Amino acid sequence: MIRYVIKRIILMIPVMLAVTVLMFILSSLSAGDSARIIAEKTYNAPTQEQIEEIRHREGLDKPLFQQYFSWLGKVVQGDFGESYNTGRPALQELQSAFPVTLRLALKSLVLLLAISVPLGVFSAVYENSLFDKITEVFSFLSVSMPAFWLGLMLLYLFGVKLRMISVIGGTSGEVPLVAAFSMDIGFFGVVIRMIRVSLRDSLKQDYIRACKAKGIPVWKIIWKHGMKNSLIPVSTKIVSIVISLLCGSAVIESIFSLNGIGALALEAVTAKDTPVLQCFILILSAVVVLLNLLADISYSAIDRRIQLK
């Protein structure tokens, strides 16, 4: 196990280097003239001489590969540059916004599991029942409903009509439950169906019949034996869902006026704030790689027969 983890961490280095190269090239080509953007934030009406002075000061007049190595050397030390909008370090901008996104992602994940796991288990146990049919309809509606539309409808209902939440957000960083539900809507059906199919197949195995023949209570068989073998494909999907919750929160954060990293990245794209956008992409890329490593490790933790080499 330890050897496998070390090998995967070593393999992360070329992956992250490839991400930095691709990200730096694309951001340099798409951001426009960074010197002009900085000058417009510094001066009201910058002259060409002022723009060229900033270009030389920031090293933007050097070849692209020299700019990359200079930028990479600073990134390794934790310096992603300063935001064009606020003048604060880009990493501090992300650090101040990340807790809101993390709270949204955690609340969404807990809500997703609290609803999907019981529905998936009961659907598998009571296959083809009325409950199973209702759950199947809910699953279909879940994967068919756009998150942004549901977010707007819930904001109108609970914010405008019932006045239970603020429609303009707040400074406390509190995440309303309806925002988490809107984030989850596209995942409910996926998780419910995966649990239903995996558990249903597990309950038809010979060892389950043997447990029933020994007189072991049904629910003990389901939770101790059936769910254990059903969690491996589900855990893989849960990791990808967590990644989506962290990386794809921009729309929901904008709807509910949450100042998270998704909204920050969306603002950075609009304002062509390259340092913040580069920091956002690189940090989340590292998070994605680490979460995938944790997913692989979880296979062995769930089923001891799986050996990681």
Are 229 and 94 contained in the same domain? Answer: yes
Q: What is the pLDDT of residues 174-229, one digit of tens each?
A: 788 999 999 999 999 999 998 888 888 877 777 777 877 777 787 777 777 777 77
Do 209 and 111 have their domain in common? yes
Q: How many domains does the chain have?
A: 2
Q: Span 25-36, mean pLDDT?
A: 77
Determine, yes or no, domain membership for 132. Answer: yes
Give me the domain span that covers residue 212: 90-302
CATH number of the domain to which 234 belongs = 1.10.3720.10
**58 shares a domain with 106:** no
Shared-domain flag, residues 67 and 97: no
- 287 occurs within a structural domain: yes
Q: How high is the pLDDT of residue 137?
A: 93
- Please tell me the pTM assigned to this model: 0.83
Looking at 49, 76, 103, the residue that finishes a domain is 76
Instruction: Annotate the chain with three-state secondary structure.
Output: CHHHHHHHHHHHHHHHHHHHHHHHHHHHHHCCCHHHHHHHHHCCCCCHHHHHHHHHHCCCCCCHHHHHHHHHHHHHCCCCCECCCCCCEHHHHHHHHHHHHHHHHHHHHHHHHHHHHHHHHHHHHCCCCHHHHHHHHHHHHHHHCCHHHHHHHHHHHHHHHCCCCCCCCCCCCCCCHHHHHHHHHHHHHHHHHHHHHHHHHHHCCHHHHHHHHCCCCHHHHHHHHHHHHHHHHHHHHHHHHHHHHHHCCHHHHHHCCCCCHHHHHHHHHHHCCHHHHHHHHHHHHHHHHHHHHHHHHHHHHHCCCCCCC
Which tens digits make up the pLDDT trace of 43-82? 777 788 888 888 888 888 888 888 899 989 999 888 888 8
Both 228 and 294 in a single domain?
yes
